[in-house]
Amino acid sequence: MPSAVDHPISVVASERAVIAGRLTAATVVISLTTGKITSIFDCVLPPSDFPEGTPYIDHSPHVLLPGLVDAHVHLNEPGRTEWEGFETGTKAAAFGGVTTVVDMPLNAIPPTTTVSNFKEKINAAQGKCWVDVGFYGGVIPGNHTELTALVKEGVRGFKGFLIDSGVDEFPAVSSDDITLAMKELADEPTTLMFHAEMIPPISDSVGDAVQHSEPPLFPHGALTSYNTFLLSRPPAFETYAIAEILALASVAPDLPLHIVHLSAIEAIPLLRQARARGVKITAETCFHYLSIASEKINDGDTRHKCCPPIRTQSNQDGLWEELQKDDKETVIQTVVSDHSPCTPDLKCLPPTVPRGTEAGPNTGDFFNAWGGVSSVGLGLSILWTEGQHRGITIEDVVKWCCANTAKQVGLEHQKGDLAVGFDGDIAVFDDQGSFMVEPSTMLFRNKCSPYEGRELKGVVRETYLRGQRIFSRADGFTKKSGPQGQLLLEPRTTRT
């Protein structure tokens, strides 16, 4: 038997673990030299089976899960670090068992749209990350010549907007821009993703909810009414944008396409038909579309503003129905946070919500408030809470938030499962516990989330990164070592 000193290992075990997508007993052995899982046994081995002094914990009855891969977060550093940051965003992730986040190319300044901008971001991230961080690049008008170089620098995919992004430095792309990007990326190991909302021409728009005029969005009704906001971004925005993307798909038939944060169920048949005729396109949805319904959002409660909007209860039910379909059939394969925070003043918070402000001209105005929901690190518990009455299993959650998200960003050989050769990233999940969302359980920088005040079922007791415990609910963060997260800059090799 090798000595503990020569080959340091760490051992975690439980009667319940999700291994290769299946709930089973397991003992997981991780090399502390490489951080990789070196062996897995399908039973709980006693500590005496390992060299003396080996760190060993039997976590039964808690469930060992692969660390979650949140494939859609905005960390906003550098440039808008007061909105979020690598340190706070990744701590919030680790708190909720998320061991990998993939940062979106916009809302930091500069945006990740050129190699030199990407280098600035990498510099800003060094030494601050508590979990592993991957990066997306951005597609904006005129930057197609940077795209293949960004692939080589390690971006894990690209995102473009078909509608105003909310920040000046990340303009929307036209069909011509998309065509150029598709040609550049046609044979690259990457994924091209879209914020799929687009204002249809007046002849295609639905009823009088949208008027094609200046300003282009002309809401009818009180600006503090959630319903006014909802009507201003109807499902037709999503279906029109997706039809536009599908019309261009033949430019690069082998390039995987992906719709970020799908909200409207009306888009599902379009995507299903496209997949049936061989178009390589998938979609993700978000924790908030699966757990919040527009009928329950109080007027003025701008914590709920995001784009596309949170829709009705029946829309939410439709998203769940799609998600729970057989793997090969489903259009929606992943669930992500789209954690997109800002400072409370930009959220125009009314005095009726925690840390809201005195009434001002824009207070509670859904049209002036920044669009984005904060939830990084809460997703596992949000899904588990909502799933209690929807008949989901913990294996389902692992599929949507670990295995499939890892695959989407080309990390399927390293993350998203507990398997020999994979990183020893583990969430220890207490599926019976519960907790209240409050400032002490929202570790992101700005304590502003529509989930505040909700009790969530399912608590992450401990989080491991490469076999090292980085967080425990009892003891907090492991200060001794500091942030040990790595930047995932190895270029992708697979297209999924």
Give the CA distances from residue 452 to residues 38, 260, 345, in Å, rounded to whole numbers and listed in that order: 40, 25, 17
Give the CA distances from residue 205 to residues 54, 66, 161, 234, 287, in Å, rounded to whole numbers and listed in that order: 64, 44, 19, 9, 28
Distance CA 5, CA 322 (A): 50
Answer whether 47's CB lies under 8 Å from 11's CB: yes
Nearest approach in angstroms of CB 195 to Zn ion is 7
Nearest approach in angstroms of CB 423 to Zn ion is 25
Instruction: Decide whether 143 or 340 has the Cβ nearer to Zn ion.
Output: 340
CA 154 to chain centre: 18
Give the CA distances from residue 289 to residues 47, 141, 297, 316, in Å, rounded to whole numbers and listed in that order: 44, 30, 12, 6
Instruction: Decide whether 77 or 338 has the Cβ nearer to Zn ion.
Output: 338
Interactions with Zn ion, residue window 320-379 (CB under 5 A): 338, 340
Residue nearest to Zn ion (CB): 338
Strand bridging mode 257-259 / 281-286: parallel
Instruction: Decide whether 301 or 338 has the Cβ nearer to Zn ion.
Output: 338
Please provide the distance, in angstroms rounded to a whole number, between the alpha carbons at the two ends of the chain: 40
Instruction: Decide whether 165 or 239 has the Cβ nearer to Zn ion.
Output: 165
- Residue 70 lies near Zn ion (rule: CB under 5 A): no
Q: How many chain residues touch Zn ion (CB under 5 A)? A: 2
Distance CA 142, CA 177 (A): 7
Of 396, 385, 287, the C-alpha closest to 336 is: 287
Instruction: Decide whether 340 or 375 has the Cβ nearer to Zn ion.
Output: 340
Nearest approach in angstroms of CB 245 to Zn ion is 17
Nearest approach in angstroms of CB 340 to Zn ion is 5
Q: Could you give the count of Cα atoms lying within 13 Å of 273 in the half-sphere of its Cβ? A: 9
Amino acid at the residue 303 = R
Answer whether 67's CB lies under 8 Å from 470's CB: no
Nearest approach in angstroms of CB 74 to Zn ion is 6
465 contacts: CB under 8 Å, gap ≥ 6: 35, 67, 94, 99, 130, 131, 132, 423, 424, 425, 484, 485
Instruction: Decide whether 340 or 496 has the Cβ nearer to Zn ion.
Output: 340
Instruction: Decide whether 136 or 471 has the Cβ nearer to Zn ion.
Output: 136
Answer whether 402's CB lies under 8 Å from 67's CB: yes
Nearest approach in angstroms of CB 306 to Zn ion is 8
Instruction: Decide whether 170 or 435 has the Cβ nearer to Zn ion.
Output: 170
Distance CA 339, CA 287 (A): 10
Nearest approach in angstroms of CB 440 to Zn ion is 26
Instruction: Decide whether 188 or 338 has the Cβ nearer to Zn ion.
Output: 338
Q: Could you give the count of Cα atoms lying within 13 Å of 146 in the half-sphere of its Cβ? A: 21
Nearest approach in angstroms of CB 339 to Zn ion is 8
Nearest approach in angstroms of CB 159 to Zn ion is 8
Binding mask 100-119 for Zn ion (x = CB under 5 A): --------------------
Chain positions contacting Zn ion, by CB under 5 A: 338, 340
